[in-house]
A and B are shown apart, each in its own frame.
Chain A
């Protein structure tokens, strides 16, 4: 690239008729893999011309753990443990579609109470994931305060998940046919042991009220901030058409104005029993992506509160064979996870483990639009756009 300085513009030098040619070079900027804003180990090789980014190449694989290969040598109950670690910010949500797929092939009818507990916990996982996003995203665009509020509020939700499952991040709570008997629940009889811990309903009601308050607080603290608005409005606009062709799902798709939610479209959990809104954005910019997630937290809290009020009684486990063998067949079960569509394509040959397990994760497809979104963006916007996609590298690389 050659920039010519026109001597006519420099009156003092015009008589000397100086013509200077300055050679400029494209710079290749290497971001990551160890970079705080990449939510893990994503590497971006960006070509920049001054402040403008004109070509970005994401380099993946630093977190590749080979789940699909491992799944071929594990039995179904063992895979439940593995899949927790795919999207570690919302570990519980990862179990749902896998377990639902195995149950579908085995034709097991899960008890209503177990389904409700699954639903409550997966919504809590969504809330905790969106808390992390709120804190981290504000941090990335320059606001230090919100992450402290977000982490404090998230801890309240994680405590609840822990009180039921025994794990904060990796609950490993689902069993084929139902859920595990809850940890730390009543001391004596078998019936007590298998139920939710004492005081769970009361604590949940308090925590969910706090979530609704926190979302309101974020709307003021983050959304009301002029700098935040300037950094995110009309930045990184994604159209609905492009999003669909790339398989972008979840809050990012909804921020582009598509009212699409697998919770209402499919029946992997009894969401049809509850009333909630599906927040959508208008412009598909970074601000809308943030806004949709904050509003979703409130809706999730509402679902949890309704689910607690209408909690059915009954067993937590359906009758299942002692040795889990999934009949021959194949199925694809997808679920609306905090980051978008997550699904497992199970190809069973009637054995102890699947013949082939394809893991479809949301973040993988979501960040495949990065090269497109970042083309022509300013370098400071790169972080704002990347952060708004809310990806987790475990979910990208698997």
Chain B
């Protein structure tokens, strides 16, 4: 693990380790070559998943970020090795106005469905994808449900946290108060 980490640090600039997971941040222009390198030189052949995060200050549901963020999409992939516990996530940030990035299908065939999911859920275009069409959502469905601006209809009727949904939310916890097991 330490040897692997030092090799990662030699090759990539923007890295950090959080709970045994190595995170690499790259520019979207280096998206494909980073993955190629990680697969060939770092032996990360197992493609675990790809997904995106919609960073936005204005949300229609849930909680808005506490600190102001610059609105953008963060795309994340998770790669690992089947014979040891090396685990790497690669992330990049792309503009919300023109959300596009090159597809990884050429390198990891398993990225195909994950990219289709991100395409329908966030509206991110994956260039060079062989078959970029909806995966889950029915034909004719409008909108991208995983966007923070997308409204969850049941929530319009029942604001959260509502009295019907959960018990009234307790106040801020006192620091020493705890549930005894």
List chain A positions with a Cβ less than 8 A from chain B. Answer: 60-61, 64, 66, 68-70, 72-73, 75, 78, 104-105, 111, 177-178, 194, 241-242, 244-249, 253, 258-260, 265-266, 315-323, 325, 328-332, 334, 341, 343, 345, 347, 349-353, 355-356, 358, 360, 364-365, 368, 397
A342 CB to closest chain B CB, in angstroms?
A: 11
**Which of B19, B65, B82, B138 contacts A355, CB < 8 Å?**
B65
**Which of B61, B113, B136, B172 contacts A72, CB < 8 Å?**
B61
Flag whether B46 is at the interface (Cβ < 8 A). yes
Number of A-B contacts (CB under 8 A): 144
A347 CB to closest chain B CB, in angstroms?
A: 6
What are 7 A-B pairs at a CB distance below 8 A?
A: A73-B152, A245-B45, A246-B109, A319-B181, A332-B87, A358-B49, A365-B47
Q: Cα distance A242–B170 when bound, in Å?
A: 51
A103 CB to closest chain B CB, in angstroms?
A: 11
Flag whether B180 is at the interface (Cβ < 8 A). yes
Is the CB–CB distance between A244 and B173 below 8 Å? Answer: no
Flag whether B140 is at the interface (Cβ < 8 A). no
**Which of B62, B137, B170 contacts A73, CB < 8 Å?**
B62
Interface centre among B18, B62, B78, B113 (most CB of A within 10 A): B62
Is the CB–CB distance between B109 and A265 below 8 Å? Answer: no
Flag whether B53 is at the interface (Cβ < 8 A). yes
Is the CB–CB distance between B179 and A244 below 8 Å? Answer: no
A150 CB to closest chain B CB, in angstroms?
A: 29
Q: Cα distance A353–B110 when bound, in Å?
A: 30
Interface centre among B63, B112, B134, B138 (most CB of A within 10 A): B63
Interface centre among B65, B110, B137, B138 (most CB of A within 10 A): B110
**Which of A75, A349, A353 contacts B66, CB < 8 Å?**
A349
**Which of A69, A331, A364 contacts B113, CB < 8 Å?**
A364
Q: Cα distance A72–B54 when bound, in Å?
A: 12
Q: Cα distance A209–B119 when bound, in Å?
A: 49
Is the CB–CB distance between B135 and A61 below 8 Å? Answer: yes
Interface centre among A245, A331, A352 (most CB of B within 10 A): A245
B164 CB to closest chain A CB, in angstroms?
A: 14
Q: Cβ of B169: which chain A residues have Cβ within 8 Å of it?
A: 323, 352
Q: Cα distance A256–B135 when bound, in Å?
A: 28
Q: Cβ of A68: which chain B residues have Cβ within 8 Å of it?
A: 121, 146
A76 CB to closest chain B CB, in angstroms?
A: 12
**Given A320-B178, A345-B76, A355-B63, A247:B170 Cβ within 8 A:** no
Is the CB–CB distance between A317 and B48 below 8 Å? Answer: no
**Which of B48, B76, B137, B152 contacts A61, CB < 8 Å?**
B137
For window 40-85 of B, CB contacts with A under 8 Å fall at 45-49, 51, 53-54, 61-63, 65-66, 76, 78, 82-85
